[in-house]
Structure formats: C-alpha cells, structure tokens
C-alpha cells in the first residue's frame, strides 16, 4: 500500500476544515475495499472493462437481454451483500461539520447506505429498474433470475443505469451543478477518469478556483507540476495516494 505523504495530508486537512461545503466525486475505487470489482485495474487484462463495454450498452441488452440481466443481478446481489467501509462512514459523519455533496459514478448505492444524505448518482442505480421501450418505472418482480417483462408495454425490464452511449439524465447533471455551486472544495475519490462524465464537473471546479484533493493509490489527475502539459483535466491541489478506506478516516478524523 503506498505511504500517504504527511505534508499532503496536513494540507488536505486544512482545505476540508476550511470548506463550508464539500463536493465528493467518487468512482469504482470507492467500493474496491468493499469487495466490489473496479472496471479498470492496473495490470488487469481489462477483461472486466471489456465485459462492461460489451454488456453495459443498449446494443448489448438488445442482443442478449438475459445475459445482461444476469450480469446486473449478480452485481446487485454483490452490492447488497457488501458493507460500506470506514471511508464511507467518515464521509457521512463529516456532515455534522459541513454539508457534504456526493456525486458518484457508482451504481451500488453504498454512499446512501453509509448515511450520506446528499447523493447524486450520475450513472443511475442497480437498485432501480425501468422498461427498455418506454422507461416505465418498474418496482415489482425484479428479484428474479429470468429477465422480466414490463406489465404495461411488454418490453424487457432493465436496470435504471446509464449505459455507454446513453446520456446522463438532466436531473443528475443539474444536481451535480448545484452541488458544485454550494462547495468550497472537491474530494475526488477512486476514479480513473477514463469515463468522460466527471470531467466537466472537475473543469468547472477548477475554473471556480476550488482546491481539488485526489484520493487514489494510482492518481488520475495531472500533478500541479505537470499542469502546463495536462490535457483536458485540471491538476490536483494535493494528492493522498492511498486507499479510500484508509485515507478518508485519517483525513476526516
């Protein structure tokens, strides 16, 4: 496990303690210590990401609805069996000091289960369902192995997640923008930033001059020193290069 630089931790602590509102942008790495696989792991053969690219798409569902349904059902059961780690509870507890706005790419529902009260799920949720043809909200009969049919229009039922090639819903985009408006600092946790969704939020935060703290054993943002060569992503103000379940409780003690 990479050592956390004490001076970076002290700077990060000063930043969060001074912030009257904290925007947390999280990705799959936030749930890695809960036993939920990330999409892209260093040294991985990318099999998981290849699967996601094939199955987490409207075309994949149209091609093989039962296979995609089973894949999501396995992930949902895994998420329900997972327990939020100490990093999740540290974020929820910080709400006693200042508003914490979570904007997550994750669909596992763990932030809310850990007690965070302001959560925007950019990519939807494993625990909500809709029909493929007309997005009728479906609440019954989704705990089965065989892909269900919509009782209204008869089309297949799918998880209410945002697939690759689908737009993030306007409500999530505006929720994230409101969170940014109310924040004075950004905590970026456990995302490779390979998916484009959080990029715009980070660029807006940088334009507003908000400090950005990245928590990741394998940081994704450019270092301040590389800022002039970085592409479309702003540099981190400081980086805590360690796992979320260890770093967040120390940062938010």
Q: Would you give the DSSP letter of residue 5?
A: P
Only one of the segments 2-10, 101-109, 135-143, 173-181 lies at the binding site for ligand BV8 (rule: CB under 6 A); that segment is 101-109
Q: Quick one: CA torsion of 221, 106, 58, 172, rounded to 10 degrees? A: -90
CB of 166 to ligand BV8, least distance (A): 6
Residue ranges of the alpha helices (H) in the chain? Answer: 6-18, 47-55, 58-63, 65-81, 86-93, 110-113, 170-182, 199-207, 244-251
Q: Which stretch binds ligand BV8 (CB under 6 A): 32-40, 144-152, 170-178, 200-208?
A: 32-40
- Determine, following the binding rule CB under 6 A, whether residue 69 of this chain makes contact with ligand BV8: no
- Least distance CB 123 / ligand BV8 (angstroms): 4
Size of the site for ligand BV8 (CB under 6 A): 35
Q: What is the 3-state secondary structure (H, E, C) of 45-109?
A: CCHHHHHHHHHCCHHHHHHCHHHHHHHHHHHHHHHHHCCCCHHHHHHHHHHHCCCEEEEECCCCC
Which residues, 155 to 214, sit near ligand BV8 by CB under 6 A? Answer: 161-167, 190-192, 194-197
Asked whether position 1 contacts ligand BV8 by CB under 6 A, the answer is: no
Residue 27 binding ligand BV8, by CB under 6 A:
yes
Question: Is residue 77 a contact residue for ligand BV8 (CB under 6 A)?
Answer: no
Bridge partners, 102 (sequence order): 24, 119
Contacts of residue 21, Cβ cutoff 8 Å, sequence gap at least 6: 98, 99, 100, 101, 182, 183, 184, 185
Residue 32 makes contact with ligand BV8 by CB under 6 A:
yes
Segment interacting with ligand BV8 (CB under 6 A) among 61-69, 94-102, 104-112, 171-179: 104-112
38 and 243 Cβ atoms separated by less than 8 Å: no
Compute the least distance from the CB of residue 20 to ligand BV8, in Å: 25
The interface region with ligand BV8, picked from 36-44, 139-147, 169-177, 205-213 by CB under 6 A, is: 36-44
Angle at 122 between CA 118 and CA 124, to 5 degrees: 95
Catalytic annotation, residues: 123
Residue ranges that bind ligand BV8, judged by CB under 6 A: 27-29, 32-33, 38-40, 52, 56, 105-107, 123, 161-167, 190-192, 194-197, 215-218, 220, 243-244
């Amino acid at each position: 496990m990479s050592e956390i630089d004490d001076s970076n931790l002290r700077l990060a602590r000063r930043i969060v303690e001074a912030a009257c509102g904290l925007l947390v942008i999280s990705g799959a790495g936030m749930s890695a210590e809960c036993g939920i696989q990330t999409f892209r792991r260093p040294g991985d053969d990318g099999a998981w990401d290849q699967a996601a690219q094939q199955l987490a798409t409207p075309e994949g569902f149209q091609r093989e609805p039962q296979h995609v349904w089973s894949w999501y059902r396995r992930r949902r059961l895994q998420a329900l069996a997972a327990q939020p780690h100490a990093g999740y509870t540290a974020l929820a507890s910080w709400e006693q000091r200042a508003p914490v706005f979570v904007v997550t790419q994750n669909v596992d529902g763990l932030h809310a289960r850990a007690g965070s009260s302001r959560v925007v799920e950019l990519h939807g949720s494993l625990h909500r369902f809709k029909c493929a043809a007309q997005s009728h909200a479906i609440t019954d009969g989704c705990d089965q192995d065989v892909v269900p049919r919509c009782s209204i229009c008869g089309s297949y039922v799918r998880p209410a997640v945002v697939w690759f090639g689908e737009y993030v819903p306007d409500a999530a985009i505006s929720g994230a923008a409101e969170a940014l408006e109310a924040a004075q600092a950004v905590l970026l946790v456990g995302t490779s930033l390979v998916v484009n969704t959080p990029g715009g939020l980070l660029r807006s935060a940088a334009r507003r001059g908000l400090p950005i703290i990245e928590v990741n054993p394998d940081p994704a943002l450019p270092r301040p020193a590389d800022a002039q060569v970085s592409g479309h992503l702003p540099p981190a103000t400081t980086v805590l290069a360690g796992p979320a379940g260890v770093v967040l409780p120390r940062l938010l003690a």
